[in-house]
Amino acid sequence: MGQRRKARELAAQTLYALSFREFNPEYIEHEMLNVYPEILEELAEVDGLANYSEVFAFANDLVMNYIIHQKDIEKEIEKHSENWTISRMSTMDRSILYIAVYELMYTDTPPPVIINEALEIAKRFCDRATGKFLNGVLDAVNKDLQEREKIEGSKL
């Protein structure tokens, strides 16, 4: 398994763990930014990853940036999840989507790579139906973002 995939897995696991914490909605971004490093460090330690390794640093970047852009990412997912609300999705499905949609919206990683990585992670952590669902949502998000990019001339 590549280092970037391992980092994406670690980021998704961190978001999964964060989802079971209770946060004050008024201060959710601030509270999540304060809590997630400890969770990420514990998960990295379990996987035998040194803090500040390349894998750890990329996972940290993914989680931190998801938290910062959470509202926009969730809007994008809701917009393209026909007949599904985020709250109805399984926690791990959601976590994988959050990471992948963040990357689609805010990074220069090629979309096919992002989508493939999300599907491979889903094979490891989710049930068989998840892949088709994630692929549909991510493909719709990607197409919409590409259309907007053509119109606006740049990424978000």
Token representation of residue 45: 């330690």
* pLDDT at site 45: 84
Cβ(54)–Cβ(3) under 8 Å?
A: yes
Distance, in Å, from the CA atom of 103 to the CA atom of 149, rounded to the nearest integer, reads 15
* pLDDT at site 129: 86
Complete domains list, the chain, with CATH = 3-152 (1.10.940.10)
Q: What distances in angstroms separate CA 37 from CA 52, 55, 72, 91, 149, one per listed residue?
A: 12, 14, 22, 19, 33
pLDDT digits (tens, 9 = 90+) for 54-94: 888 999 999 999 999 999 999 999 999 988 888 889 999 99
Q: Using 70 as the pLDDT threshold, list the residues of the chain that sit under it.
A: 1, 50-52, 154-156
* pLDDT at site 51: 62
Helix (H, G, I), strand (E, B) or coil at 82: coil
Whole-model pTM: value is 0.89
Q: Which of 20, 16, 98 is nearest to 65 (CA)?
A: 98
